[in-house]
Chains A and B, each alone.
Chain A
Amino acid sequence: MLEKIQNEPYRLFFPLGIVLALGGVGHWLFYAAGWMSHAYGFLHANMQVMLYLPCFVGGFLMTAVPRFSATWTARRWELAGALALMTGITGALFNGRWLAAEALYVLWLLLLARFIVTRFLKRQVDYPPIEFVWIPPAVFLGLCGTLVIILALAGRVGPGWMQMGRSMQEQGFLIALVIGVGGFLGPKLMGVHQMPPVNAQNFKAEMRKKIATHAAGASLLIVSFFLEGRDGNVRGYILRAAVVTGMLVWSKSLNDKVIAGPSLFTRALSASFWMIAAGYWLIPVFPKLQVALLHMVFLGGFSLMISCVSTMVVLSHSGRGELLHRPLWIFWLIAAGFTVSVSLRVGATFFAEHYFMLLGISSGAWLIVQVGWLIFALPFILSGPAGGVSPPDHRKIIESSGHAC
């Protein structure tokens, strides 16, 4: 099993992410049911941002990057380090050691960055996916935001900086990865990716143009966080919405597959991109509903995308990629569960007397999806050869990435 995990770290970190998320979200359900006397909003946000999401991000990238770079798989110390850091962050959060949790998260970001950079520098392919240029800005925003939070917690800068730090940490890291890695993988999975005609003459020019466009987008995204500033200025969100929409339209991640997609999986994946864009545009229009609309981005966007992509990873690495576009029960559960969860989470804002009950039901629906996913995925995660399998659809994704660059 250890060899399987070294080859494909998602086998460890995807289930771990769900177990940790049960704690990060479950307490809303317990509070609504009267089993807990306090509602730990800060703990919820931190567990989701520092544990649940990183487990999936780390599990995916630590599996995918060695394949895209044709380099070595995860070393035992890298796995142990990531696992130890997740454990440390969990302990720190549950004990209210916020500063320690943030410091450990910095170490996790650095570990992930080192994992990617070392393999990029020693890559055996000429051109890894260009979209992966978003990974450095993602790590930058995560690190920058966390360091600002640490300084605010330690009293070295005014507490007002916390707002900006949290935005960078909570949103910046993820949205950059969605635009980059998601913008690379999503269109292919949805069947909208079109490889442009390539010849020797225009190849390098095309590459330079693409890199320049991505670099401009990343720069503007970073600027949006400084524009948002310490007082949550909506101008930052307008710029962010424009960058996100522009990049996702350009990559064809925003498309009509949410309605016209051939499978539940395709429609759900397409919906996740739309939720992110819609959430970001609605925030400057309804600034007082920012928290609820950010849940549209996180829940309907990032989390739904994770559920879809992780299902793809699990199936394709088990040699069962052909199941991806079938109406499996897990896709019905994902579609129904996320519809209930997102609707109630956003709608709860308008029902003060029933707010916590609606939050509890929203949390419960989301938790059912996560547990359902675990039940679905575990047999695939636990079985399969040590080196994984590249069935035709997954191999095509890897091959097409080489040609697309």
Chain B
Amino acid sequence: MKNSIWLIAAFALTVTAAPVSAATVSGKVLFEGDPPAPKPINFGAEKQCATMHGDHLPVNEEIVINPDKTVKWALVYVKDAPKSAAAPAEAVEIDQKGCMFIPHVVAARVGQKVTFKNGDPVLHNVRSEAKTNKPFNIAQPIQGMTTSKTFDKPEIGIKMRCDVHFWMASYIHVLDNGFFAVTGDDGRFEIKDLPAGTYTLELWHEKLGTRTTQVTVVATDVKTADFTLKIA
């Protein structure tokens, strides 16, 4: 009798502990055609900015094609996913280092802190060109100083600029759920814990445009969806 009770309890635990949303969608963002040659940043007279890079001067990150012909800095997100729980407590960080925004693209949740840091001994500012959220322009005149902001509404492709160093640009994507990823050096994305359902998966790139695809998942599916981009 006792053993039966333990067995029933263990079974109940297993059933209740099983995740409801456990689907994963992953894939690659590929590039078709000849990759454009990387354009070195022209620092002009701002030699102090150039100093910080030594011999390895940075390149423009508008279009970054990895050696395996995958695309970096593309946002892939589930367009019509259910809203997730409250935003994470940890902040998303963007550093102004070597007169560049690092990283070039970030994604954050609505209400999640985004912290901007000035890692340089020169004046930078962070000006957001938000259209749905409230735009702002904050100066960062001291090395090491940080400023935090939150965005109240979802918005894709908020451009951030430094007006003192005109080549500096980055993008923040603000979403109201956690089902998104930004591709890195391997051009891959992975979106986990998606509830069962049919969704629109959208890709957004600052220069190569947007793509969408439909994906249907059930509880513990692992689906693959690749995107291919090219220069128009």
Contacts and interface: CB of A to CB of B under 8 A. Distances in A.
Contacts of A232: 121
Contacts of A288: 142-144
A356 B47 contact: no
Interface stretch (B132-140, B191-199, B208-216): B132-140
A98 B48 contact: no
A46 to B, nearest CB: 8
Contact of B163 (A38, A348, A352): A38
A329 B145 CA distance: 41
Interface in B171-190: none
B125 interface: yes
Interface stretch (A57-65, A121-129, A158-166, A373-381): A158-166
Nearest to A165: B47
| Interface of A: prevailing SS | helix
Contacts of A42: 44-46
Interface string A340-359: 00000000110011011000
A163 B48 contact: yes
A111 B57 CA distance: 38
B141 A349 contact: yes
A37 interface: yes
B166 interface: yes
Contacts of A349: 141-142
Contacts of B125: 39, 355-356
A152 B142 contact: no
A356 B137 contact: yes
A289 B142 contact: yes
A277 interface: no
A292 interface: yes
B139 A162 contact: no
Nearest to A158: B51
A258 B147 CA distance: 39
Q: A interface, how many residues as a size bin?
A: 20 to 34
B122 to A, nearest CB: 8
Contacts, number: 60
A153 B45 CA distance: 7
B158 interface: no
Interface string A353-369: 10110000000000000
Given A232-B121, A288-B144, A352-B140, A159 B44 contact: no
B123 interface: yes
A80 to B, nearest CB: 28
A136 to B, nearest CB: 28
Determine which residue in A162, A352, A353, A356 has the highest number of CB atoms from chain B within 10 A of its CB, and name it: A352
| Interface of B: prevailing SS | loop
A160 to B, nearest CB: 5
A307 to B, nearest CB: 26
B141 A291 contact: yes
A222 to B, nearest CB: 23
Nearest to B136: A353
Contact of A41 (B121, B136, B142, B164): B164
Contact of A39 (B51, B138, B164): B164
A31 interface: yes
A211 B143 CA distance: 42
A352 B45 contact: no
B163 A39 contact: yes
Given A98-B44, A162-B47, A355 B163 contact: no
Given A37-B163, A39-B164, A232-B121, A159 B139 contact: no
B50 interface: yes
Given A39-B164, A98-B44, A356-B137, A159 B51 contact: yes
Interface string A66-106: 00000000000000000000000000000010100000000
Interface string B125-161: 1000000000011111111110100000000000000
A356 B139 contact: yes
B139 A96 contact: no
Given A153-B45, A159-B47, A352 B143 contact: no
A348 B139 CA distance: 9
Interface in A134-182: 152-153, 158-160, 162-163
A42 B43 CA distance: 12
Contacts of B50: 159
Given A31-B163, A232-B121, 12 more contacts: A39-B125, A41-B164, A42-B44, A96-B45, A153-B47, A159-B48, A159-B51, A162-B47, A288-B143, A353-B147, A355-B125, A355-B138
Interface of A: 31, 37-42, 96, 98, 152-153, 158-160, 162-163, 232, 288-289, 291-292, 348-349, 352-353, 355-356
29 contacts: A31-B163, A38-B163, A38-B164, A41-B123, A42-B44, A42-B45, A96-B45, A158-B51, A159-B48, A159-B50, A159-B51, A162-B47, A163-B48, A163-B51, A288-B142, A288-B143, A288-B144, A292-B141, A348-B139, A352-B140, A352-B145, A352-B147, A353-B136, A355-B125, A355-B138, A355-B139, A355-B141, A356-B137, A356-B139
Interface of B: 44-48, 50-51, 121, 123, 125, 136-145, 147, 163-164, 166
Top 10 A-B pairs, shortest CB-CB distance:
A355-B139, A159-B47, A159-B51, A98-B45, A162-B47, A159-B50, A39-B163, A352-B138, A39-B164, A288-B142
